[in-house]
Amino acid sequence: MTRQDNEVAAGAIVEDRAWLGELQGELFALLAGVFAQARSRFTAFAYISALLAERGGRKSCWQLGEQAGHATPRRMQALLAEYAWDWKAALAALQRFIVARLGDRQAILVLDETAELKKGTMTVGTARQHAGITGQVENCRTVVFMAYVTARAHVLLDFRLYLPKAWCADQERRERAHIPHEVVFTTKPALGTAMVTGAAGAGTPFAWVAADEVYGRSSKLRQACEKAGKGYVFAVPVNFTITLPSGRKTTVASLARLVPAAAWETRSCGRGCKGHRDYAWAWAATASPRHWVLIRRSLSDPSDLAFYYCHAPQGRLVSLPVLIKVAGKRWPVEVGHRWCRSSCVVFSRLCSLFLVRFVLRVCPAGAGVEAGRACPAFA
């Protein structure tokens, strides 16, 4: 999906203005209690109205102020940098808003991070670090997002700003950026774990969690999901070790070589921008009756393999198509990243995105037959 595709999609929806008035009214009521002063409250309303009114790329305070009818960008700048308001309360209200309209017991939570490329060094969290959007080390800051994916729609539900060790250790920099003393270095998987446990603790309905290798390696994240009674499909590296039903330990890469030809099935894991994403799939049992290894193989290049470690709680029906479906639902959060970087708004798909973006700009740092039938043991 290209930026042009995003803008065309945004235009097609935003140009249908019928829903904007109703949406604005709901959002204003949602946010009213977050702001103690009328001045900051009305500026926030103007900010949201300006985001909803304009489509295209990222907007500066000058552009948003002009759209709102302000003579200067001063009020928009003050909203983001000076006005006192509770961003946590705003995010919690937004999450209630999302669950009330999209809540689904079969929903999937998807974890992933994105990088925001920066030219300077003053923005909280900015450092030389790996940027997934370029695949290289860049001057950027990283945000871990959690998407809420249902059959009806998908939205960004939560986020955490990743604060590199260099920032955590630099007291002068912390004080200048007003980073709270209680904020300490936290890994990306730990940030993801906090969001998943927070959603479960808040009673957010969901059945599965999906994530890439960065999170799939985390035993604490897997344990948190299992403790909460949630299933997961996590991508894992080729050297990830599992225990077979025979008791023999092996890597998932070695396991793939033991899968018989008859065990592979060609299935789609969902539609992409070029049609169905078809792969060959197989799954294998482990020593645990509630854990499996899911293997994806490219149809054009059989050596191109991907591996997933899967879990389903006791009593939940599991099949190969179910696990493939969950594995294929990782893409919505990547779509959300694109919208967040461009500050575009599509309510029917990402009704929370612009507000998450709004909150992100001012929050402190840090701040988705019973067992089915898997391939039998390959001892």
The pTM for the full model equals: 0.82
19 band by pLDDT with thresholds 50, 70 and 90:
low
The single-letter code of the amino acid at 311 is H
Distance from C-alpha of 213 to C-alpha of 252, rounded to nearest angstrom: 13
| Mean pLDDT across 266-290 | 90
For residue 249, count CB atoms less than 10 angstroms from its CB and return exposed for 0-12, middle for 13-18, buried for 19 or more.
Answer: exposed
What per-residue confidence (pLDDT) applies to 135?
86
Res. 272: pLDDT tops 70: yes
Pick the CATH number of 86-360 from 3.30.70.270, 3.90.350.10, 3.40.50.300, 3.20.20.100: 3.90.350.10
Mind listing the pLDDT tens digit for each residue in 25-77? Answer: 777 888 788 888 888 888 888 887 887 776 655 678 888 899 889 999 999 88
Res. 356: pLDDT tops 50: no
249 band by pLDDT with thresholds 50, 70 and 90:
very high
Distance from C-alpha of 86 to C-alpha of 79, rounded to nearest angstrom: 12
- Tally of CB atoms within 10 A around 96: 14
The single-letter code of the amino acid at 122 is M
Spans of all domains in the chain:
1-33+35-85, 86-360
Distance from C-alpha of 28 to C-alpha of 188, rounded to nearest angstrom: 33
For residues 263 and 374, the answer to whether their CB atoms sit within 8 Å is no
For residue 13, count CB atoms less than 10 angstroms from its CB and return exposed for 0-12, middle for 13-18, buried for 19 or more.
Answer: middle
Measured CA to CA in angstroms, residue 13 lies from 5, 19, 212, 236 at distances of: 13, 10, 31, 37
DSSP state, residue 365: T
